[in-house]
């Protein structure tokens, strides 16, 4: 069976590099193929999305397949039917599932009982498709990733975890700057460090961005955490990515954000609309990376030997 893609560590290092190169080539040639001709892919989204949904639907179409979009209102996932039953039923209808959900355990259970590949389009713990797109964006500006310094500033959430995992496969130097009570999962960090990732954790945003070539942020309250918004805003206010903070990074430092952004909270309009912003390249690169990921999943020849 084709592989599941639940975290970037489901790929070997060689595979991750191969997918990165393939996405760049696909972007350069406006790639189309018939890889998914005759195949239907279910997009099961319990969380709303713009970039993830559209990029995957277009990517599937560019590869010759058909996307079937399902919200939580359209499926039994997370309702009365056990996840394993949903997995078994959908496996008999479709050729793959792209799932955007809350708890990562639900995604793991879905994959464990599915006879077709499952791709993580976002869970509360990981967002692997996004971080690969981000690495692609950085590589377009820094052809050699060795020693590139990335500072992640904000909540130790699924994006922080995905950056930690990315540092296992790619030779970046990652610093995470989070409030102490919102640090990333220590188990995820310890595992990455044991695999050789170069990752540093600090609770000081100024120290975190020192020497950084790229400064990355995300919303302070993710979907499902809206009730915490006001409390989080007070804690996270020193972690806002603004021109003052970027001035403490390396000269020429660029800013990234996975979007959607809460303008004026975790990032300012001035940064988003200014010459340091790579946000729109990031958003575009979701499409090219989704195609490369789908090819890796469905074409065994796209995986490293």
Task: Give the CA distances from residue 130 to residues 115, 119, 179, 207, 257, in Å, rounded to whole numbers and listed in that order.
Answer: 25, 12, 23, 25, 10
For the chain, give every domain's residue range. 8-127+286-303, 130-282
Mark whether 218 is an active-site residue. yes
Q: Which fold has domain 130-282?
A: Rossmann fold (3.40.50)
**Choosing from 113, 127, 139, 276, which is the catalytic residue?**
127
Helix axes 128-141, 279-298, angle to 10 degrees: 120
**Which pLDDT score, from 0 to 100, does residue 227 have?**
76
Exposure string of 37-66, with b = 16+ CB inside 10 Å and e = fewer, is eebebbbbbbbebebbbebbbebbebbebe
Mark whether 130 is an active-site residue. yes
Class of domain 8-127+286-303: alpha beta
**Which pLDDT score, from 0 to 100, does residue 235 have?**
96
Q: Can you name the residues that pair with 122 across neighbouring β-strands?
A: 100
Mark whether 258 is an active-site residue. yes
**Cα gap 107→110, rounded to integer Å:** 5
Annotated binding site for L-ornithine: 158, 218, 222-223
The pTM of the full predicted model, rounded to 2 decimals, is: 0.96
**Cα gap 213→173, rounded to integer Å:** 10
**Which pLDDT score, from 0 to 100, does residue 68 have?**
97
Annotated binding site for carbamoyl phosphate: 49-52, 76, 100, 127-130, 258-259, 286
**Choosing from 53, 104, 130, 240, which is the catalytic residue?**
130
**Choosing from 218, 240, 282, 288, which is the catalytic residue?**
218
Give the pLDDT means over successive 10-residue stretches in the chain (305 positions).
Answer: 95 98 98 98 94 98 97 72 93 97 95 98 97 98 95 98 98 98 98 98 98 97 75 94 98 97 97 98 98 97 87
Answer whether 8-127+286-303 and 130-282 agree in fold.
yes
């Amino acid at each position: 069976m084709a592989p599941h893609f639940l975290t970037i560590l489901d790929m070997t290092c060689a595979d991750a590099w191969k997918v990165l190169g393939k996405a760049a080539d696909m972007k350069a040639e406006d790639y189309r193929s018939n890889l998914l001709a005759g195949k239907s892919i279910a997009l099961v989204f319990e969380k709303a999305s713009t970039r993830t949904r559209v990029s995957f639907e277009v990517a599937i179409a560019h590869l010759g397949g058909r996307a079937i979009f399902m919200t939580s209102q359209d499926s039994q996932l997370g309702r009365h039917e056990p996840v394993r039953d949903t997995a078994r039923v959908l496996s008999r209808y479709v050729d793959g599932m792209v799932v955007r959900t809350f708890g990562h355990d639900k995604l793991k259970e879905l994959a464990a009982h599915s006879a077709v590949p499952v791709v993580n389009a976002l869970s509360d713990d990981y967002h692997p498709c996004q971080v690969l797109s981000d690495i692609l964006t950085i590589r377009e500006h820094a052809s050699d990733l060795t020693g590139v310094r990335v500072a992640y500033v904000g909540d130790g959430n699924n994006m922080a975890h995905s950056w930690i995992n990315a540092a296992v496969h790619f030779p970046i130097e990652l610093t995470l700057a989070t409030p102490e009570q919102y640090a990333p999962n220590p188990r995820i960090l310890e595992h990455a460090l044991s695999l050789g990732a170069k990752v540093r954790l600090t609770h000081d945003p100024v120290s975190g961005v020192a020497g950084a070539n790229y400064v990355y942020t995300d919303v302070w309250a993710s979907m499902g955490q809206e009730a915490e918004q006001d409390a989080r805003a007070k804690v996270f206010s020193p972690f806002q990515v603004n021109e003052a903070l970027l001035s403490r990074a390396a000269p020429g430092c660029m800013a990234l954000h996975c979007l959607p952004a809460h303008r004026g909270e975790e990032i300012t309009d001035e940064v988003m609309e200014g010459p340091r912003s790579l946000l729109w390249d990031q958003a575009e690169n979701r499409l090219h990376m989704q195609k490369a990921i789908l090819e890796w999943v469905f074409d065994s020849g796209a995986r490293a030997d």
